[in-house]
């Protein structure tokens, strides 16, 4: 029986983005293994392997992870290894470089957004760029999910003979293809402390420095001086030690910290505008989900966002930390329902190219 190994630093990455691809391999008769540093049960996984991946490149545990994973790879003799996440892919490719010759193992790496990009800090280029360029020689297929990364890898990583572009991890159209009654929407809003006539901005993503939600808190602070019915939902686990809650303590009537939620499609149904303030993105799933829900987007001008949003057509793209312009774009949508409706229609049309069914077909081609 053929075997495939998926690797990532954490379980959540596999659970959030890759279950359809594990299922694909199961349906094709593969034995499916997953290696992470977690203990969660993974659907469609025949064997779960715990490897001490660390997110930080300076952690000594990553050396042990290379050694441990190399032993597993030599024992299992995988046909395909598909690696994800920055350090997960570094460890995996170093551990698998011998297997490519010995067992003809194909090593596939999906870059979910390089840490080096136009406008990135110099230290990112000094640390991460040389590592990725070196490891590209141990990568049989390098998959990028936005055009900026694709062009860079194609032009600079000459040791990798197969650089490809795939539009993200795919959006399940069925997940967002449903309707909620007026009563259901009203009840959900009420449960969150919202009124039926409140104008709701929603930002989905973990709370951290890169997602930059502090910018959105300042936007709300300014907006509510004239429009007190505008509210911001911040949806995602807190990885910033309560700093944003502290920043928002004087506007908590309008800023709602919801934490992790498993009802994202329903929350988007009661959302007027999806907002994103990220400094860096690969191909943002939260924006794709908003598009699939027919919601206008106002987002900062980060890599990956530019792939999805055409300014003024299906949303707005604003330079990072331009608070006054960001506010202006939100108010244009607040004050013009017809324009807002047209943007919603454009999003429902534009998102089709990112549907999961199409991405799976692309990946079938690369896997086979």
Q: SS3 letters for the chain?
A: CCEEEEECCCHHHHHHHCHHHHHHHHHCCCEEEEEECCCCCCCCCCEEEECCCCCCCCCCHHHHHHHHHHHHHHHHCCCEEEECCHHHHHHHHHHHHHHHHHCCCEEEEEECCCCCCCCCCHHHHHHHHHHHHHHHHHCCEEEECCHHHHHHHHHHCCCCCCEEECCCCCECHHHHCCCCCHHHHHHHHHHCCCCCCCEEEEEECCECCCCCHHHHHHHHHHHCCCCCCEEEEEECCECCCCHHHHHCCCCCCCEEEEECCCCHHHHHHCCCEEEECCCCCCCCHHHHHHHHCCCCEEEECCCCHHHHCCECCCEEEECCCCHHHHHHHHHHHHHCHHHHHHHHHHHHHHHHHHEHHHHHHHHHHHHC
Least confidently predicted of 15-19, 118-122, 154-158, 323-327? 118-122
Domain hosting 289: range is: 173-354
Q: Is residue 360 part of a domain?
A: no
Tokens standing for residue 83: 């690696």
Q: Are residues 344 and 259 in the same domain?
A: yes
Examine the fold and report which residue of 135, 165, 195 is the final residue of a domain before the chain moves on.
Answer: 165
- Closest by CA position to 261, among listed 234, 290, 288, 293: 234
Predicted local distance difference test score (pLDDT) of residue 368: 85
pLDDT, mean of residues 311-332: 95
Average pLDDT over residues 52-62: 88
Q: How many domains does the chain have?
A: 2
Distance CA 160, CA 138 (A): 7
Residue 349 has pLDDT above 90, yes or no: yes
At 321 the pLDDT is: 84
User: Of 120, 145, 165, which residue is a domain's last?
Assistant: 165
Mean pLDDT of the chain: 95
Judgement on whether residues 82 and 217 belong to the same structural domain of the protein: no
User: Greater confidence, 72 or 124?
Assistant: 72
Task: For residues 203 and 268, give the distance between their C-alpha atoms in angstroms, rounded to a whole number.
Answer: 10
368 domain-assigned: no
Q: Domain containing 272 — which CATH number? A: 3.40.50.2000
The pLDDT assigned to 173 comes to: 87
Residue 255 has pLDDT above 90, yes or no: yes
Overall average pLDDT of the 217-241 stretch: 97
pLDDT tens per residue across span 262-290:
999 999 999 999 999 999 999 999 999 99
Q: Say if 362 falls within a structural domain.
A: no
Q: Are residues 96 and 226 in the same domain?
A: no
Please give the Cα distance from 230 to 36 (Å, whole number). 41
Domain identity same for 253 and 275:
yes
My answer on whether 95 and 192 are in the same domain is no
Average pLDDT over residues 34-47: 96
Examine the domain organization and report whether 120 and 184 are in the same domain.
no
pLDDT at 236: 95
Q: Average pLDDT for residues 89-109, to the nearest whole number?
A: 97
Q: Over range 191-209, report the average pLDDT.
A: 97
Same domain, 156 and 258: no
């Amino acid at each position: 029986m053929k075997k495939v190994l998926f690797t990532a630093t954490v379980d959540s990455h596999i659970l959030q983005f890759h279950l359809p691809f594990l299922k694909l391999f199961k349906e094709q008769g593969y034995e499916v293994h997953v290696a992470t540093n977690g203990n969660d049960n993974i659907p469609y996984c025949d064997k779960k392997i715990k490897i001490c991946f660390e997110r930080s490149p300076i952690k000594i545990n990553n050396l042990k992870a290379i050694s441990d994973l190399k032993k597993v790879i030599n024992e299992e003799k995988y046909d395909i290894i598909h690696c994800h996440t920055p350090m997960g892919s570094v460890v995996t490719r170093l551990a698998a470089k011998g297997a490519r010759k010995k067992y003809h193992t194909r090593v596939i790496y999906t870059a979910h957004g390089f840490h080096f990009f136009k406008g990135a800090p110099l230290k990112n280029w000094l640390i991460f760029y040389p590592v990725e360029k070196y490891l590209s020689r141990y990568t049989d297929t390098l998959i990028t999910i936005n055009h900026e990364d694709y062009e860079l890898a194609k032009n600079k990583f000459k040791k990798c003979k197969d650089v490809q572009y795939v539009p993200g991890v795919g959006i399940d159209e069925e997940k967002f293809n449903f309707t909620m009654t007026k009563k259901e929407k009203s009840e959900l809003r009420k449960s969150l402390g919202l009124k039926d006539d409140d104008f709701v901005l929603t930002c989905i993503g973990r709370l951290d420095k890169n997602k930059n939600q502090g910018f959105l808190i300042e936007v709300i602070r300014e907006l509510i001086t004239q429009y007190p019915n505008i509210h911001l939902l911040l949806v995602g686990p807190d990885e910033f030690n309560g700093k944003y809650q502290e920043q928002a303590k004087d506007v908590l009537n309008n800023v709602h910290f919801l934490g992790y939620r498993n009802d994202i499609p329903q929350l988007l149904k009661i959302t007027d505008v999806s907002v994103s303030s990220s400094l860096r993105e690969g191909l943002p799933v939260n924006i794709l989900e908003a598009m699939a829900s027919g919601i206008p987007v106002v987002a900062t001008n980060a890599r990956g966002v530019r792939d999805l949003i055409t300014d003024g057509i299906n949303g707005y793209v604003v330079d990072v930390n331009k608070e006054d312009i960001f506010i202006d774009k939100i108010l244009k949508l607040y004050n013009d329902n017809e324009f807002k409706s047209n943007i919603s229609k454009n999003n429902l049309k534009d998102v089709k190219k990112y549907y999961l069914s199409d991405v799976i077909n692309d990946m079938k081609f690369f896997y086979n």
